[in-house]
Amino acid sequence: MKIRVMTAAALLALAGCILLCGCGSKDADNQTVAPVSEVGSLNGSASDTLRASMTVDNVTPGGLTVHFNLHEKRNEVLFGDSFRLEQRVGEDWAEVPVIREDYGFNLVGYLLTEGTERTMDVDWEWLYGRLSPGTYRIVKELVDTERRTPGGQPLKYELSAEFTIAMSE
């Protein structure tokens, strides 16, 4: 229960932060090419950045596959199972409402290293249900355990990637 409350509090705190979209383009082999972005830290100074990218594929109304890439040398950059979904409403983004109040994520840390792509299949039907047609983004947090805030906390970053759920025929 304590982990669930902490996870919910962390998600609420992050909701107001500025997010980076990880949209990609296609290369000659029709593979998604992620733009390399300098992501500002959520809890550090303006100079605390991380060069990383995130793209998605295999999109369905119930889930997708996320691809992470780190574009600089770091010893300990981690990501976990937690995520949130947002939907485009006009020019803004709004959090997709969850369908259950009592939820939590496994507290795991997957290592992300320079030059190695990590993938993660995400199923959100248990938390959001099947998404209706529209433009969405998935938001994931990265934690840099190598660099710290003045208060000693690991630096945290958010990456997001847009995707579209099309009308079914």
**Token digits for 111?**
């290592």
Residue 9 DSSP SS3: helix
Residue length of the chain: 169
Local confidence pLDDT in tens for the 169 residues of the chain: 434 333 333 333 333 332 333 333 334 333 344 445 567 777 777 677 888 899 999 999 999 999 999 988 877 799 999 999 999 999 999 999 999 999 999 999 999 998 889 999 999 999 999 999 999 999 999 999 888 888 899 989 999 999 999 987 4
Per-residue confidence (pLDDT) for residue 36, from 0 to 100: 56
CA distance readout (Å), 14 to 70, 83, 147, 159:
21, 11, 19, 12
The answer to whether the CB of 114 falls within 8 A of the CB of 75 is no
pTM, to two decimals: 0.76
Nearest to residue 80, comparing CAs of 133, 159, 1, 15? 159
Residues 6+ apart with CB under 8 A from 145: 75, 76, 77, 78, 154
The answer to whether the CB of 37 falls within 8 A of the CB of 29 is no
Burial of 140 (0-12, 13-18, 19+ CB in 10 A): buried
Q: Which amino acid is at 19?
A: L
18/8 Cα distance (integer angstroms): 18
Neighbour-count burial for 96-106, b at 16+ CB within 10 Å, e otherwise: bebeeeeeeee
Per-residue confidence (pLDDT) for residue 73, from 0 to 100: 83
144/77 Cα distance (integer angstroms): 4
The answer to whether the CB of 67 falls within 8 A of the CB of 117 is yes
Q: Which amino acid is at 60?
A: T
